[in-house]
Amino acid sequence: MRLDETPHQGYPFDLPVVRALAGHGELRLPTPVTLLAGDNGSGKSTLIEAIAVAAGFNPEGGSTSFDFATRATESSLGEHLTLVRNAGRRPRTGFFLRAESFYNVATEIERLDVTASYGGVSPHQRSHGESFLDLAAHRFGPGGLYLLDEPEAALSVQGCLALLLRIADLVAAGSQFVIATHSPILLACPGATILEIGPGGAVAEVPFDRAEPVAMTRAFLADPGRFLKHLID
């Protein structure tokens, strides 16, 4: 992924992560699964959205054939990204899952009358988490490009594990995933590259044990009472 020349100021080009990427020029995604970690406001969702736009997906979510907008809030960053594929291989299919706007995608699925591709039941007739898992089980297929923005927002622990299993199956079938997440469970995806966005915007590859969501969750679970007392004090 290459970031072409961008404006010097204004959102999103003044975000630290975008400035850091502009200085570096490119961001490599070396494995079939890339996980973007970082605190709230670090720019994970902005980056995922820009990749989706550059890949031709609907900014609000869905596939490349979805063309609707409830409210256009996407940044122009995607217009400055160039996606470079190994050996020129193009995805056979794909999907952009944006947790915050999946309700609108579900409405579009009903309007287009394509529920058969999503398990035969409208996502509006399923729980939020069930609709996410239906999407992964029935709509995601081999050789695809899947961009997921915080999918754990709707998933239980069991749901996150089910999604991990589906990701593993699809990776074995030639698919690629880029996932923005806070979930220690999803960050444990075997063979994945974890890219963590630091406070200054620098993007660095980190091992699972050093990823902030993992370290913070472990510290909390080791002694919740002491952790909370320290936090409150």
Residue 229: inside a domain: no
Q: Are 97 and 149 in contact (CB under 8 A)?
A: yes
Angular region, 10: left φ>0, alpha ψ -120 to 50, beta rest = left
Residue 119: inside a domain: yes
Is the pLDDT at 82 greater than 80? The verdict is yes
- Give the total number of structural domains in the chain: 1
Residue 215: inside a domain: no
Residue 220: inside a domain: no
Residue 53: inside a domain: yes
What is the number of alpha carbons within 13 Å of residue 68 lying toward its C-beta? 17
Residue 228: inside a domain: no
> pLDDT band at 25, cuts 50/70/90?
confident
Tokens 């996407």 locate to 74
Residue 226: inside a domain: no
Amino acid at 2: R
CATH of the domain at 114: 3.40.50
Residue 38: inside a domain: yes
What does the pLDDT look like over 47-75, one tens digit per residue?
999 999 999 999 999 999 998 888 777 88
Q: What global pTM score does this model have?
A: 0.93
Expressed as residue numbers, the domain containing 191 is: 2-205
What was the pLDDT predicted at 8?
Answer: 66
Angular region, 177: left φ>0, alpha ψ -120 to 50, beta rest = beta
